[in-house]
Chains A and B, each alone.
Chain A
Amino acid sequence: MKYPKKDLIQPMSGSRWQHIWSGFVGDKLAVMALIIFAFYCIVALLAPLVAPYDVKDPAFMDLMNAEIAPMWISGDPRFLFGTDAQGRDLLSVILYGTRLSLTIGLCAVLIQATLGICIGLAAGYLGGRIDNFLMRCADIQLSFSNMMVAIVFLAIFQSLFGVAMYQQLAMVMLILVIGLTEWPLFARTIRASVLAERQKEYVDAARVMGLSSKRIMFRHILPNTLSPVLVIFTVQIANAIVAEAALSFLGLGMPATEPSLGSLISAGFAYMFAGSWWICVLPSMTLIILILVMNLLGDWLRDHLNPRTYKD
């Protein structure tokens, strides 16, 4: 039998990611989580194609169809998950809602990460007074409850510019508010890693090479600090979706015409004890599974990207 020579010469090539991948395939829970998460993403992305009804179509709302129970109870083949109080097909609304929730979560965390990474890098690398100032800002930010900041901010915006204006900008506002309030988590993590990386000789070597501070920070130090960021990233998306859902539940999130999972739960809650439990319970289940799956993925990443548990 012939062995391919190449493998004998470099059995280590790309070892780290291969190592992580092989560990991943062996972990059934992680694979399950990833498959479900991928399913969510695909369905959310393709919502306009997959959904049985178009949410934006006015003909779609028919009060005659209001509060029909899911198919397995009512036996109505038109509505798999039943309908809500406005007669909308719950499955379609949930699909669109998932799409919105995921978008808001992802964008908000991108803002958090960008801000947090820049601030954390600057604080850790430049040190001294800049570090002190930035970290005290982070402390101040953390001392407010994020939910409180979001509520105050969104409420002020609503009363200043009116509900109509707010409904148009709701998504952007939610992304901004959730994105701008949670950067300290990223900044602190990055700063801690940068403090450790900065001592290493490759940083000295880069400085002796005549590279500028900016280049050293972003090209040399940043990639070495990314594994904890990846972990926080996944967990934070879940947190952002929950935050969005909570704000929507409180009436400060997405409007009823463009419902996210949170506003669906909120709207359905009123019918909970009137017997139409599915309007509230089905979106809740969707949200809970999504969050659970993301947290599982985040935990798995944390266990496997942690340099202390990772061995060559």
Chain B
Amino acid sequence: MNLLSVSNLHVNFHMKERELAALIDVSFTLNRGERIAIVGESGAGKSVLGFSIVNLIGKPGYIHSGSIKLEDKELTSMNARQLQAIRGKRIAMIFQDPMMTLNPVLTIGDQLVEAIRNHTKISYKDARSIAIEKLHHVQIASPEKRFDQYPHELSGGMRQRVIIASVLLLNPDIIIADEPTTALDVTIQAEILQLLLAICRDNGVALVLISHDLGVVSKVAERTLVMYAGQIVEEGPTLEIINDPQHPYTQGLLNALPQMTLPGQRLNQIQGSMPSLAERPSGCAFHPRCPYATQKCKQQQPDFIYSGVSSVACFLVEDMLNEFADHDQEAQ
């Protein structure tokens, strides 16, 4: 059985006049111990997806339809108390900015102990020793001293380590990391990624890494989902997606990496920008920015099809596959 299965998830934002669709028909699965990545530009709905998994989309957003199952438990129909028991205990989440994620007026120790004691009934002393052990685990030097310090006394990288320790406290099955390294500088990024990777591998924790950085994704994730305007447009093994991207959007993203250009050359970019929720284009949402767009792309939504490497929602790939199939038939 899959650890987490999201199927046909629709998330809407309820505005005054109209409903805006933030996620459209999102489906994916996550196995125990698997590491997947969700990539896309800002506004693609990555974070909304992350928050919907723990059923915490802020107003005016809400889950319109679809299901999110943790093993056999349906998360969308749970009440607040049941959800509180899942959050942190089964599914934990790491945020982008370590400066903001820790409460500035409570000590590191207070926050860690609170997280433990919120889910399990153990004494302060036991909770403290667990917290210190986890701080040690994320390679924080002299954890006993850090335990009594306030967040502002720690550096950014150290804070992100504390946050990783805090999600590990209750040995969750899934960690959702929403751009965990974006706010850190490059040298620390690599350290934190290594740490996250090692921790997931050692403890068999499944990871959902939300990122816009394909470089980061390629180091960590086994499987990658590419999102555009609230939809998944391509899904497949990370290596395949990076070496042989099928969807024009994925190709554009990869081309936009600075490594893809020679020094002195202008950086590549995808023309135009992500449409806002209110101005969603007809047909394939990517068609206004797609260099290969045809008349058909403007009118119809492409289906999700398996291309042999990855699953893609694009007419271009579909047509190509059909052509191949025709060729094969003729050859026979």
Contact = CB atoms under 8 A, between A and B. Distances in A.
Interface of A: 10, 12-13, 15, 127-128, 200-202, 204-212, 215, 219-220, 223-224, 312
Given A127-B59, A209-B118, 4 more contacts: A201-B96, A202-B104, A208-B88, A210-B86
B32 interface: no
Contacts of B153: 10, 12-13
Contacts of B56: 204, 207-208
B257 interface: no
B152 A201 contact: no
Given A10-B153, A210-B118, A223 B106 contact: yes
A202 B152 contact: no
Interface string B78-122: 000001111111001101110011111110000000110011000
A200 B88 contact: no
Contacts of A211: 84, 88, 114, 118
Given A10-B153, A210-B86, A205 B101 contact: yes
B101 A210 contact: no
A215 B119 CA distance: 13
A205 B159 CA distance: 13
9 tightest A-B contacts by CB?
A: A210-B87, A210-B88, A201-B100, A209-B88, A208-B93, A223-B105, A210-B84, A202-B103, A205-B101
Contacts of A224: 103-105
B281 to A, nearest CB: 31
A220 B106 contact: yes
Contacts of A208: 54, 56, 87-88, 92-93
A312 B153 CA distance: 11
A231 B105 CA distance: 18
Contacts of A206: 103
Contacts of A127: 59
Identify which of B54, B103, B166 gathers the most chain A CB atoms within 10 Å of its CB. Answer: B103
Contact of B97 (A10, A201, A212, A223): A201
Interface size class of B (residues with CB under 8 A): 20 to 34
Identify which of A15, A200, A205, A207 gathers the most chain B CB atoms within 10 Å of its CB. Answer: A205
Nearest to B93: A208
Interface string B145-169: 0000100110000000001001000
Interface in B242-286: none
A217 to B, nearest CB: 13
A207 B84 CA distance: 8
Contacts of A219: 106, 114
Nearest to B56: A207
Contacts of B166: 209
A31 B314 CA distance: 73
A207 B83 CA distance: 10
A207 B87 contact: yes
A212 B119 CA distance: 11
B159 to A, nearest CB: 11
A12 B92 CA distance: 31
A13 B154 CA distance: 11
16 contacts: A13-B153, A15-B152, A127-B59, A201-B95, A202-B100, A204-B56, A205-B95, A205-B101, A206-B103, A207-B56, A208-B87, A208-B93, A210-B83, A210-B88, A211-B88, A219-B106
Nearest to A198: B58
A291 B322 CA distance: 87
Contacts of B97: 201
A207 B54 CA distance: 10
Identify which of A13, A211, A223 gathers the most chain B CB atoms within 10 Å of its CB. Answer: A211
Nearest to A202: B103
A204 B57 CA distance: 10
A120 to B, nearest CB: 17
Given A208-B87, A210-B88, A220 B118 contact: no
Contacts of A205: 93, 95, 101-102, 163
Contacts of A209: 87-88, 92, 115, 118, 166
Contacts of B152: 12, 15, 312
Contacts of B86: 210
A207 B92 CA distance: 10
Contacts of A220: 103, 106
A7 to B, nearest CB: 14
Given A12-B153, A210-B118, A201 B89 contact: no
Contacts of B105: 223-224
A195 to B, nearest CB: 13
A127 B58 CA distance: 12
Nearest to A216: B103
Contacts of A212: 84
Contacts of A207: 56, 87
Contacts of A210: 83-89, 118-119
B103 A204 contact: no
Contacts of B59: 127-128
A205 B96 CA distance: 11
Contacts of B93: 205, 208
A207 B93 CA distance: 10
Contacts of A215: 118
Contacts of B87: 207-210
Nearest to A209: B88
Interface string B42-56: 000000000000101
